[in-house]
Amino acid sequence: MSQNDLVIANQSAPDFRSDLNDALQALGSLNSGSTAPSTTYANMLWYDTSNNILKMRTEADDAWIDLGTLNQSTNEFEVANLTELTQTQAEDDTDTTYGTVTGEILAGVVEANASSPIKAWVNFDGTGTVSINDSLNVSSITDNGIGDYTINFETALSHGNYALSGTAQRSSGTIRSLQLGPINDDVTTTPYTTSSARIICTNESGGNEDGPLVTAMISGG
């Protein structure tokens, strides 16, 4: 670590060599030190050893710009002043904000922009306390009563005009059916929204019944 004014004055040969070596060492170490160099130049680099920050002097030579942090524990360089993008920013192809994204957000962006028409699906046990076996873009299942379930989406769909298909079965007897349209013939009820879809399992007698294995798949939306 060394700093120098980078000016080689007229002097004796030994002093010249010493001054030159100091200047070269300062350049080689990026003028590293715990305080800024006393003599500065436009576009000069300085490694601030107190904070492990690499800085560059402005072209006007009136301030320091942080370029990034050198993590001495992990031996990694972390770029300064980068914004961590939100899910909404990362998915918006008109947003010009430059920044970083986490793996979780990146996965969400890929999922949101996937070419597959399948936007969500779920496989769950609807008996007793409802439990999800596996799913895509489904956060939870609401138990509205016997055989009556609301599928809640993790990420809202763009519209409610999607198609829903599914299956349901019982432990024994005739395989039940899934009611996917208006709930109990109530045309005022909207079973499909951008945030959820409601389904009802019925048995051969037309009554509601919990299903040990219910599947549903949402296309479009």
- Among 69-83, 84-98, 172-186, 195-209, which stretch is predicted with the lowest mean pLDDT? 172-186
- pLDDT at residue 191 in the model: 81
Please name the residue ranges forming H helices in the chain.
13-28, 87-91, 103-112
CA 30 to CA 1: how far, in whole Å?
A: 8
**Mean pLDDT over residues 111-115, rounded?**
65
- pLDDT at residue 130 in the model: 95
Neighbours of 51 (CB within 10 A): 12
Please name the residue ranges forming H helices in 100-203.
103-112
Q: What is the mean pLDDT of the chain?
A: 82
**Mean pLDDT over residues 46-74, rounded?**
91
Of 93 and 134, the one with more pLDDT: 134
Instruction: Identify the DSSP state of 49.
Output: T
- pLDDT at residue 183 in the model: 56
Of 93 and 180, the one with more pLDDT: 93
Say yes or no to pLDDT of 143 above 90: yes
Neighbours of 34 (CB within 10 A): 9
pLDDT tens per residue, range 120-131: 999 999 999 999
Say yes or no to pLDDT of 54 above 70: yes
Domain map (residue ranges) of the chain = 13-79, 84-112, 118-219
Instruction: Determine contact, residues 65/48, Cβ cutoff 8 Å.
Output: no
Task: For residue 198, list its beta bridge partners.
Answer: 150
In sign, the C-alpha dihedral spanning 148, 151, 157, 163 is negative
